[in-house]
Amino acid sequence: MKFEAVTIKDIAKELGLSTSTVSRAIRDSYEISAETKKLVIECAERLHYRPNPIALSLKEKRSRSIGVVVSEIANSFFSQAINGIESIANNKGYNVMISQSQESLDKETRHINFLASRSIDGLLISVSSETENIDHLMQLHKRGLPIVFFDRIKAEMQTHKVIVNNFKAAYDATVHLISAGYTKIGCLANAEHLSITHERIAGYKQALKDNNIAKDLALVKICEHGGLAFDETENAVNDLLQLQPDAILGLNDKLTTGCLKILQLRSIKIPEEIALVGFTNSELSELLNPSLTIIRQPAFEMGEIATSLLIQQIESKRPIKEFTTRVLQTELVVRTSSKRRVNGH
C-alpha cells in the first residue's frame, strides 16, 4: 500500500544520464546543453516527475513551509487570521501547516514539536489558555526557529509580536456601556495569565475607575477554558447573575456567544434586563437575537502582518536582534444588545 513516486533516478536511467545531470537540467542550470535539457524536461513531464520536498528539506534544512498553531480553527477570529496568513504565505511561495491546540498545553506542545521536526521554517502562534510556561517554545527559539506571536503573546520571548490594543478595546466597550446607562457591568474572561485577558481586564477596570464606578472584583469571572467548556461558562454566568449586573462584557468569542445562549435559555431579555457586549469576529453577530454589540479585531490583517514579519525574518541573512510589536486597532460595532437604557429599567 505504498505509493512510489517517480524520482530523478528513474529519469536518469530512462535517458542514460547521471542523476546530477538530470537534477541540473531540471533546475535549468547554465552548465547543461539546451538539447539535454529539452530531453530531460520532456521525460520528466512524461513520467509525471515531481521533486520530493522531503529529500529537499533533509538536504537544505528548510522547507518553504510555516507552521501555525491556534487554539481553535472553528473560532472566527482564528479562521480569518489563518486566511490572512495563507494569503501572504502562498504569495511568497510558502505553504502553511495549521494545527489547533484546543486550549491544551499538551496538544500545543505536541503539535509544535511535530511541526518543528517537519522542518518548518518558522512558526506563528497564539498560545493556548493553558500555556503559562513556554519552555517548549523557548527551546526551539533558542535553536534558531523563527517564531512570531500574534493575539495571545508571551512577553518573555524576544520576537516579533502582532496584537491589538486590547486595553483600549475593552476600555472603549466599557465606556460605551457606561454612557448607555449601564453601571453594574459584569465581565467574563478567560485564563488569567493570558496576555489578552489581563490587558482586557485592565481596560475594563480603568473605564470603571475613570467613570467613578467602584469596581467589584466579584463581577469579573474567570473561565479557565476560555469558553470551550460550556459547563464552566454556564457556572460563571450563573454566578454573575446572582450579583444582578445590568450588563455583561464578554472578553472573547466563545464566552460572548456562550453567555448569549445562557441568557436566552434563562429567558433573560437583552438588553432590557441585561446588556451584552463582547469580543467576536463572527459574521453572524449582527444576525443574532438581539444583534450583538461587538468588538471586532482586524484578524485577517493580523495574520498578514504576522506572516510578513515571519517570512522577513526567515529570509534575513543575519540574525535579527530588533523585534517589533505591532499594535492594531479594534472596532466597536454598536448594535441592539447594548441599546441605551431608559431610566429606571
Partner DNA sequence: CTGAAAGCGCTAACAC
Partner DNA sequence: GTGTTAGCGCTTTCAG
Per CB under 8 A, which of residues 286..315 are in contact with a copy of itself? 286-291, 313-315
With CA atoms as reference, report the closest residue to 68 among 129, 117, 131, 127: 127
270, 290 Cβ separation under 8 angstroms: yes
With CA atoms as reference, report the closest residue to 326 among 345, 343, 301: 301
Beta bridge partners of residue 325, listed in sequence order = 161
- Minimum distance from residue 50 beta carbon to a copy of itself (Å): 6
Q: Is 36 in the site for DNA (CB under 7 A)?
A: yes
Nearer to DNA, 63 or 308 (CB): 63
Out of 156, 319, 342, 345, the only residue in the binding site for a copy of itself (CB under 8 A) is 319
Out of 76, 126, 233, 338, the only residue in the binding site for a copy of itself (CB under 8 A) is 76
199, 191 Cβ separation under 8 angstroms: no
Q: Is 27 in the site for a copy of itself (CB under 8 A)?
A: no
Record the cell numbers describing residue 208, joined without a space. 470603571
Choose one: 76-84, 151-159, 177-185, 231-239; the region binding a copy of itself (CB under 8 A). Answer: 76-84
Q: Is 256 in the site for a copy of itself (CB under 8 A)?
A: no
- Minimum distance from residue 42 beta carbon to DNA (Å): 14
Out of 14, 23, 41, 51, the only residue in the binding site for a copy of itself (CB under 8 A) is 51
Out of 13, 46, 58, 238, the only residue in the binding site for DNA (CB under 7 A) is 58
Q: Using CB distances below 5 to 8 A depending on partner kind, what does residue 119 bind out of a copy of itself, DNA, none?
A: a copy of itself
Q: Write the CB contacts of 261 (distance below 8 Å, at least 6 apart in sequence).
A: none
- Minimum distance from residue 258 beta carbon to a copy of itself (Å): 9
SS3 sequence of 61-119: CCCCEEEEEECCCCCHHHHHHHHHHHHHHHHCCCEEEEEECCCCHHHHHHHHHHHHHCC
Q: Is 113 in the site for DNA (CB under 7 A)?
A: no
Q: Using CB distances below 5 to 8 A depending on partner kind, what does residue 19 bind out of a copy of itself, DNA, none?
A: DNA
In angstroms, what is the C-alpha Rg of the chain? Answer: 26
Out of 3, 16, 322, 343, the only residue in the binding site for DNA (CB under 7 A) is 16
CB-count burial class (<10 Å; 0-12, 13-18, 19+) for 107: middle
CA angle (270, 274, 275) in 5-degree steps: 75
Out of 48, 61, 142, 345, the only residue in the binding site for DNA (CB under 7 A) is 61
Per CB under 8 A, which of residues 139..198 are in contact with a copy of itself? 139-140, 143-146
Q: Using CB distances below 5 to 8 A depending on partner kind, what does residue 27 bind out of a copy of itself, DNA, none?
A: DNA
Beta bridge partners of residue 125, listed in sequence order = 69, 149
Q: Is 266 in the site for a copy of itself (CB under 8 A)?
A: no
Instruction: Write each residue from 78 to 117 as x if it is in contact with a copy of itself (CB under 8 A), else as -, in one continuous string.
Output: -xx-xx--x--------xxxxxx----------x-xx-xx
- Using left for φ > 0, alpha for ψ between -120 and 50, and beta otherwise, residue 273 falls in alpha
Out of 28, 35, 156, 283, the only residue in the binding site for DNA (CB under 7 A) is 35
Q: Write the CB contacts of 34 (distance below 8 Å, at least 6 apart in sequence).
A: none
* CB count in 10 Å sphere of residue 32: 20
Element (H, E) at 295: strand 293-296
Which residues sit at the interface with DNA, rule CB under 7 A? 4-5, 7-9, 16-21, 23-24, 26-27, 31-36, 50-52, 55-56, 58-61
